Amino acid sequence: MDIDPALLTIARGHFAGDDRVTFVEADLTAPGWTERLPHVSYDAVVTATALHWLDTEPLRRLYGTLAGVLREGGVFLNADHMEDDSAPRVNAALQALHARRQEEQRRQGASDWVDWWQAVADDPVLAGAAAERFALLGDPREPRTGEGRRDRPTLTRWHVETLLEQGFREARQVWCSASDALVAALR
């Protein structure tokens, strides 16, 4: 499931011919998106670097909706850009190390976010879907001037507390790095 035409095109190409995979184009912040799902309930919902785009209230509502589509005992895993604020000095050291590694990788020719989207836009198979994506969600290759900090929760603590508040029985951070974390929740 995604709203991004370019990412859906890549996924459809990757999973072409795999009858175990169903693609759903939906906006997780729009009312009724669950009606597009092929099933009423699920054993697991897994997200990766998708939900950090959502502001606080839409994300809170989404967590409640996910609690509703997971069967009793079902699991939700969210791997995303989140931080554990329990050790700020350790975080600062890890972030500095992470920044140095990224800088070194970039010097060695690794693509960054802007480079990756440029390659997608230049690809003859993906160019049309990329143009749709840019019209719908904005063009990541363009600097975001004037866009202030959005109300996007970044602390794992917020995610855990909100999952519990929205109907999950258990929730906790199960892994983290300098910039990312994995939160697991059981229904």
CATH number at residue 64: 3.40.50.150
Burial string for 123-137 (b: 16+ CB within 10 Å, else e) reads eeebeebbeebbeee
- Taking residues 26-47, report their average pLDDT: 96
Strand, helix or coil for residue 152: coil
Structure tokens at 105: 């990788």
In the predicted structure, residue 162 carries a pLDDT above the cut 90: yes
**CA dist 68 → 138, 140, 168, 178 (Å):** 31, 33, 9, 32
Q: Look up the pTM and report it.
A: 0.90
Q: What is the pLDDT of the chain when averaged over all its residues?
A: 94
Domain membership of residue 50 as a residue range: 5-186
pLDDT at 149: 55
In the predicted structure, residue 36 carries a pLDDT above the cut 70: yes
Total domains, the chain: 1
pLDDT at 150: 75
In the predicted structure, residue 127 carries a pLDDT above the cut 90: yes
Give residue-wise pLDDT tens across range 68-97.
Answer: 999 999 999 999 999 999 989 998 999 999
Give residue-wise pLDDT tens across range 146-158.
Answer: 455 578 888 999 9
